[in-house]
Amino acid sequence: MENNKGNENNQANENNSNSRQGNPNRRPNPHRVNSEGQTQNPSRKPNPNRKPNPSQGSQNRRPNDNKKPSTQQSSNSAKSSRNKSSRNKSTGSKGGGKRRRNEPTIVSDEMKKSILANKEIQEARLNPWKQIDLNSGGKVRFTPLGGLGEIGGNIAVLETETTAILIDVGMSFPDESMHGVDILVPDFSYLHVIKDKIKAIIITHAHEDHIGAVPYLFKELKFPIYGTPLALAMIENKFNEHGLKNDTSYFNFILKRQQYEVGDFKVEWMHMTHSIIDACSLAIETPAGTLIHTGDFKIDHTPIDGYTADLHRYAHYGAKGVLCLFSDSTNSYKSGFTKSEAVVGNTFDTLYMLAKGRLLMSTFSSNVHRIYQAMDRAVKHNRKICVIGRSMERNIEVTRALGYVDIPDKHFIEAHEINKYADNEIMIVTTGSQGEDMAALFRMATNEHRHIKLKPTDTIIISAKAIPGNEASVSRMMNYIVKTGATVRYQDFEDIHVSGHAAQEEQKLILRLVQPKFFLPVHGEYNHIAQHAKTAVKCGISERNILLMSDGDQVEITPKYLKKVKTVKTGKTFIDNQNNREIQDDVIIDRQKLASDGIVNVIVQISEQTHKLIGKPIVMTHGLVPDKEDKKFSDEVTQLIETFLINVKPDQVLTPKIAENEIRLIVRKHVVRIKKLYPIIIPTLFYV
């Protein structure tokens, strides 16, 4: 009985062994011992194609896959598999059987509370505007009168029921169709409507497109002006030119990081980097909530004067909750970051080394840091500095007087002293980077300047980008300069000019620091503000909380909503800068017609009794038909007038004025039919 029992156990063990061998996923067990008491080699894998060796025992034969196991064999095999699985779970072995399952993570109630609490903190951090009291009942209205749908001419009105402030009063530049126009000034009609509640003009910085129209406004309306010393000093220069010297009594010099109460508003100026000294952004506390206006800006971490953007104040107001952000959109299509102003100085170093003769540098007269870098390099390269151009001279004088530019007098010379020095000892800073006809650089290029005539050995650095609309003027000036044989450095050096406006990554930084509820992109053409809106959406601003405006759109802002409520009158006033006087709209229209369609003069004599022609009419045209067709056109007009007088009704020739209008209509119809043009037609009628 014991032997039979032992045989049965041996047979079961053999079957169990064979069952394990048949498992294709089984890894070798280094501790397994065969029937002869030898340890099996764990590195050896069974060869499925190997024929059995007859000399080996039956225990080494491969099992017959087609043979059905007995009930006892199946039971033993299942028992062995369970034991093996149990061993794998307990020992952590990766070999054989089913893959071990990880124990399920147990999330305790305390952990859940922590996760929810951190999520709430993140939500509050990313939406600080939710701190604003939705039931405050406060509301303000924002109305851009310039600067939207265009580059420049920035002016906007922020108002409550009892208080209004103006944010900047800037000018813009005309296009080529505005003949004889030097600058464009916003239409101030709406300001006359609300003049009784306007408490102040708030100036962000001293660029022409933000302060250039102030003297023209003061000729109509006068209000207190708040701004930095540089901005008000440049406005003072304009007042002196316009005979408004006494109006400097309206000036209020501000301190940054300090609030000023202006009616219902509290206004704080925050330092910002731009392409001019002392640029600022605005934090305005209103009855509805806090508004942030960036003004023109870029984030320059290495500014020339060392005064970086006051991002701490942005973060301060952002954490408290900002109702609405108004942000500069000029460079909204530019990806990445705008380069620092400091890179231009490095380019100047290279250009100064390459120049063999005189150096002339032209840029915007308000870009003091650019001018300072050019003058500083001149000193290092032992060149005397000559400043030419009225606005350039005035701005450098002001900034030196205020201590922004620190270059001793000994390095400057006057224009008439240039010939006393060798060409490689001269550096001229001048106006005219936009190709203006009356600017100094253009007059030098056309040999009309009193002191400077360009030479082939001269190097002209144009460190500016053409303002939209000025491309043709700049190109024309470049042609004149190249004809003189001088070397022009314009766009052939990548960093000869850098923008003063933020690219997309800088715009994102401001959006993330402020995290406002509402967003109104400003300063730029419509496509610029639309692109800026897309950037804002990426930064978490809801599309329904963004509104795209045009000049004249009045937007109402409350803690609960943002909506357009009406449109006010806007427009432009044309200014002749030579005499600082306005040019009427009809004059500009006539000039455009003269330039595009020409003019027709018709002189007619008519008998007062018979209403018949006396003699042949005199017909003169300019800009309509070529000289060789003058006679043909004159004959056609004469025939039209004769036919008219034959069929004329008495009331059509009651007075010369009435008859002139009739002749004008006849000639206009004829010209439109044969030339498809609309010239100015001037009939002159004499009754004899």
What is the full DSSP assignment across 419-434? GGS-GGGEEEEES-TT
Q: Which of 369, 206, 378 is nearest to 302 (CA)?
A: 369
Edge-to-edge strands, sheet with 324-328: 259-262, 265-271, 280-285, 290-293, 324-328, 518-522
- Rounded to 5 degrees, φ, ψ at 449 are -80, 145
- Rounded to 5 degrees, φ, ψ at 397 are -60, -45
* pLDDT tens figures, 409-439: 999 999 999 999 999 999 999 999 988 888 8
The pLDDT value recorded for residue 609 is 80
DSSP letter for 405, please: -
The pLDDT value recorded for residue 513 is 97
Cα–Cα distance list, 566 to 360, 376, 549, 550 (Å):
50, 52, 11, 12
Cα–Cα distance list, 345 to 68, 377, 497 (Å):
91, 8, 10
Q: What is the Cα gyration radius of the chain? A: 43
Alpha carbon dihedral 563, 509, 365, 385, in 10-degree steps, equals 170
Does the pLDDT value for residue 479 go beyond 80? yes
Q: Which of 594, 591, 619 is nearest to 604 (CA)?
A: 619
Reported in sequence order, the residue ranges of 232-279 that DSSP labels E, i.e. its strands, are 251-253, 259-262, 265-271
CA dist., res. 331 & res. 531, Å (int): 9
3-state secondary structure of 307: coil
Least confident of 205-209, 365-369, 561-565, 653-657: 653-657
Does the pLDDT value for residue 73 go beyond 60? no
- For residue 54, name the pLDDT band (cuts at 50, 70, 90): very low
Q: Which of 540, 538, 502 is nearest to 518 (CA)?
A: 540
* pLDDT tens figures, 183-240: 899 999 999 999 999 999 999 999 999 999 999 999 999 999 999 999 999 999 999 9
Question: What domains, with CATH codes, occur in the chain?
Answer: 2-80 (no CATH), 140-336+500-574 (3.60.15.10), 342-489 (3.40.50.10710), 597-687 (3.10.20.580)
* pLDDT tens figures, 631-646: 999 999 999 988 888 8
Q: What percent of the chain has pLDDT over 70?
A: 85
The pLDDT value recorded for residue 67 is 47
- Report, as an integer, the average pLDDT of 458-486: 90
- For residue 173, name the pLDDT band (cuts at 50, 70, 90): confident
* pLDDT tens figures, 17-26: 444 444 444 5
Q: Which of 631, 639, 622 is nearest to 677 (CA)?
A: 622
CA dist., res. 281 & res. 266, Å (int): 14
CA dist., res. 516 & res. 321, Å (int): 7
What is the full DSSP assignment across 428-465? EEES-TT--TTSHHHHHHTT--SS----TT-EEEE-S-
Q: Which of 149, 173, 197, 170 is nearest to 295 (CA)?
A: 170
Comparison of pLDDT for 172 and 90, the residue scoring more = 172
- For residue 7, name the pLDDT band (cuts at 50, 70, 90): very low
Residue 389 CA, chain-centre distance (Å), reads 29
- For residue 89, name the pLDDT band (cuts at 50, 70, 90): very low
CA dist., res. 659 & res. 656, Å (int): 5
CA dist., res. 529 & res. 550, Å (int): 10
Question: Taking the chain, what is the end-to-end CA distance rounded to the nearest angstrom?
Answer: 160
Least confident of 179-183, 209-213, 475-479: 179-183
